[in-house]
Structure 1
Amino acid sequence: MDLEESRDLFWIASILYGTGLACGFAFVWKSSKKASALASLLLIIAGFVAHTKGLALRGELVKGCPLGNGMERIQFILWSLVLGYLIIRLLFRLNLLGSFSAGLACLGGMTSLAFPSLDTPYWEKEGYDGIFSNHWVELHASVAIFSYGIFGLLAIVSSMYLLQRKSLQTKRAGAVARLLPSIQQLETAGSRLLLIGSVFLTCSIVVGALDWSRAPDALSATKVGLTIGLWLAYCILWLLHFSKRLFGQKFAKVCIVLFFIAICSLGFVRSSPATVAESSLTPTNDAS
């Protein structure tokens, strides 16, 4: 393992997240619960540090926020998810949220690294001079991807809600269900995460609009349509939830489905042919 190589650091982060997941669930069954919970938190923090360094090294390599291919975007989303968890933990505590977050970060990270086609070396192309055409585009892309990380955390909280609800309905609370937060805590956390993610995505849309208005031909209709459509979907979801017209199990399921759609949409976001023809910076404006 080379600690100056971004991919190796991503592997280390994924392994640490996976170990943190194992320690977190050991917290459920072992008598030394405090020690298991502390070990899980420390492993997640260590994984986050390795993850951060890996993204920083890749950023130096590509001369910008590393969002130029599928692997980089997935890694940035997972980094945002873990960062969101660490911040939320300071505000209010939700049992096992760290374990579920670490599990998704481990699975997603290893999956993105296992497929070389997701990590195409676009920075090696002739004439490459940076991933983004300007700082506004970079800010738009990074904030948008960060909001996806928050929505990923929302999907995790929603999954925990469904597990807790099922255990209450069947009246068969297993070891995991007994340690899950209450239905009320999970619904409150979900509401806050939805609002935070929607605010970040809105900021991304506003910043992106400033650049789009100056160069409307630089982006494909597919990219604009997917971005606006996803933003509208989350805003409508927040309005319905705020007005108490959508809540509980249905709200949780919609949150999970929307996050899945957001991740899938990354594969359809591409720069328009005109942009590619005018510039050799193929990955420019490739993330949103």
Structure 2
Amino acid sequence: MFEIYMTRLHEFTVVLYALCVLLYFVDFLTSNRKANRIAFWLLAFVWGLQTIFLFLYMLKTGRFPVLTIFEGLYFYAWVLISLSLAINRLLRVDFIVFFTNVLGFMIMAIHTFAPIQYESHVMAQQLISELLLIHITVAILSYGAFSLSFVFSLLYLIQYDLLKRKKWGTRLKRLADLSKLDKMSFVLNLIGVPMLIISLILGTTWAYIKVPDMIWYDPKVIGSFIVLAIYSIYLYLKVGKGLTGNKLALWNLASFLVVLINFFLFGKLSSFHFWYS
């Protein structure tokens, strides 16, 4: 029973860590100090939980936990979080903190869901199944964000066309102004991209544990990384180049078509994803 409680607490820590990475991503792109502060305190809470786990494990084993690969992974993740907290607090180098915690999250996910560390075979298999469930759920949530972003971009183009043709009427009044539609489309993609990154990290972790000989050039795998690339380009065009208006909206619409292709067509062509589903 104690093992089950500890496992659930580890999973909760991973969820908090994922939320922390998402907020650091928002701050990375938009220089949002509020997101940075919330991410910092979430990270501090994760560090506190990890430190407690580390201390309890040392009491249980009577030694410093670095003698096995999985003990080493946990200590490595703890070191990364400790260093990123120190950097954030002392040096204020926020971008290093973000990328460090993406790596730390990957290490933490591998440690938490790796089956070899659990004595119970049933518990190990349950954890693997839960990892797959979280991977799929987060991926679908990111696709939901991309879908709503698509709708806002579509409304942007409709509103722009009505204004250009001077079609004043009820429909024009019921649509939000162009700047709001553009902002909402961007915010949803800003949420969707880090969620997709987290999903791909968890999916890669699951494949590493469960299917070590997985075909990495599988259409679904390649398609998912293409989706990540095109939406990352969208964010770069918006934040880095300051692009707005029709061109960005059209890019967003085209990006969502790739999402649909990946979800429906590549899903059918993929022997790997078809197999585990």
Instruction: Compute the TM-score of the two structures, normalised by the length of structure 2.
Output: 0.49
Larger helix proportion of the pair: 2
TM-score (structure 1 length as normaliser)? 0.47
Question: Greater CA radius of gyration, 1 or 2?
Answer: 2
